[in-house]
Amino acid sequence: MRTTDQQAAALGTRERIVRTTARLLQRQGYEGTGIKQIAREAGATLGSVYHFFPGGKQELAVAAIQHGDQEFAELLREGLAAEDDPAEAIAGCTRLLAAALRESGWAEGCPVTATALETLGTSADIQRACGAAFGHWSELVAEKLRTAGLAEEDARALAITVINTLEGAETTAQVLRSEEPLLLAGRHLAMLVHAHRQGAP
């Protein structure tokens, strides 16, 4: 097919817009990010943005959130696979997050939190996408915990807290411009996992 080039170019522009939006939402939130800014920084024009996302800013935000969802999931997968022991693996994830956060100049934290909080009363679509992201991430952790022998329900519950703690620690790390909250989270979550493996829930 000769259409490949055209489609590749099309995907190229669309993908550039989504990635740029994801990064800007992560850094400035939903209301703080303008569509014109997105077009400018993505090297696209307003026409292209509305061509690919006729639903406007909300549709674009949903796509960006889903992109961030997958990106963060990939980081989690890598971190969790790096160690057999789930406690060590989770602590490893906090180190990955801390390093990435510092390298971005403390600007690029959780890809969905800021947008989620701002748009809670505004857009049900965005809220759904954010909720789905949390679900995907905690499912990855839960699977790791199950593999290590935790009971189904314990694994599910603990995984939710793991994701929540990572999220909160990442936010605090950004505000304080320090890796400490994330590294402490890693240490404490490891203890919590150990407590589950040894004894009562």
Please give the residue ranges that form the binding site for DNA (CB under 7 A).
1-3, 5-7, 9-10, 13, 33-37, 44-48, 50-52, 54, 56-58
**Residue 119: how many CA atoms within 13 Å on its side-chain side?**
26
Selected from 8, 31, 81, 82, the binder of its own copies by CB under 8 A is 31
Q: Which is nearer to DNA, 21 or 174 (CB)?
A: 21
| Contact pattern from residue 95 through residue 134 relative to its own copies, giving x for each residue in contact according to CB under 8 A and a dash for the rest | -----------xx-x---xx-xxx-xxx----x--xx--x
Phi, psi of 172 (to 5 degrees): -65, -40
Of 58, 87, 68, 73, which Cα lies nearest the Cα of 27? 68
Of 59, 78, 73, which Cα lies nearest the Cα of 128? 59
The minimum distance between CB 117 and its own copies, in angstroms, equals: 4
- Three-state SS at 5: helix
Q: What is the spatial distance between Cα 73 and Cα 134, in angstroms, rounded to a whole number? A: 10
Q: Which tokens in the block code for residue 127?
A: 């809220």
Q: Which is nearer to DNA, 53 or 72 (CB)?
A: 53
146 to 185, contacts with its own copies by CB under 8 A? Answer: 157-158, 160-161, 163-169, 171-172, 174-176, 180-181, 184-185
Of 70, 45, 87, which Cα lies nearest the Cα of 136? 70
The minimum distance between CB 69 and DNA, in angstroms, equals: 21
Q: Which is nearer to DNA, 12 or 131 (CB)?
A: 12
The minimum distance between CB 43 and its own copies, in angstroms, equals: 22
Phi, psi of 55 (to 5 degrees): -75, 0
Of 132, 18, 163, which Cα lies nearest the Cα of 69? 132
Give the amino acid at 139. Answer: E
The minimum distance between CB 197 and DNA, in angstroms, equals: 48
The minimum distance between CB 36 and DNA, in angstroms, equals: 4
Q: What is the spatial distance between Cα 103 and Cα 105, in angstroms, rounded to a whole number? A: 5
Q: Could you list the residues that contact its own copies (CB under 8 A)?
A: 27-32, 106-107, 109, 113-114, 116-118, 120-122, 127, 130-131, 134, 157-158, 160-161, 163-169, 171-172, 174-176, 180-181, 184-185, 187-188, 191-192, 195
